[in-house]
Structure 1
Amino acid sequence: MSDDVETTTFSIESENGAADDVTVPAGLVDLLAEGDQTEAETVGDIVLLSLASRAHHLVHHDHGADEDLEAQEARVMDLFEERFGITFGEATGHQH
Structure 2
Amino acid sequence: MTDEVETITFSIDADGEETETVTVPAGLVDIVAEGDQSPTETLGDVALLSFASRAHHVVHHGEGSDEELEAQEARVMDLFEERFGVTFGEATGHQH
TM-score bracket, normalised by the shorter chain, equals: over 0.9
Please give the secondary structure, in 2, of the residue aligned with 1:36. Answer: coil
Q: Could you report, residue by residue, the CA deviation over 1:18-62 in whole angstroms, capped at 9, with x for unpaired residues?
A: 110000000000111101100000000000000000000000000
State the TM-score, normalizing by the size of structure 1. Answer: 0.97
Asked whether 1:40 is paired with 2:40, we answer: yes
Please give the secondary structure, in 1, of the residue aligned with 2:24. Answer: strand
Aligned-CA RMSD value: 0.7
Please give the secondary structure, in 2, of the residue aligned with 1:3. Answer: helix
Asked whether 1:20 is paired with 2:20, we answer: yes
Cα deviation, residue 64, structure 1: 1.2
Show the 5 A alignment for 1:46-85. 46-85=46-85
Cα deviation, residue 63, structure 1: 2.2
Asked whether 1:95 is paired with 2:76, we answer: no
Q: Match of 1:24, as an amino acid? A: V
Q: Match of 2:19, as an amino acid? A: A
Q: Could you report, residue by residue, the CA deviation over 1:44-94 in whole angstroms, capped at 9, with x for unpaired residues?
A: 000000000000000000021111110000000000000000000000000
State the TM-score, normalizing by the size of structure 2. Answer: 0.97
Q: Identity over aligned residues, as a percent?
A: 72
Unaligned runs of 5+ in 1: none
Please give the secondary structure, in 2, of the residue aligned with 1:82. Answer: helix
The number of residues matched between the two structures is 96
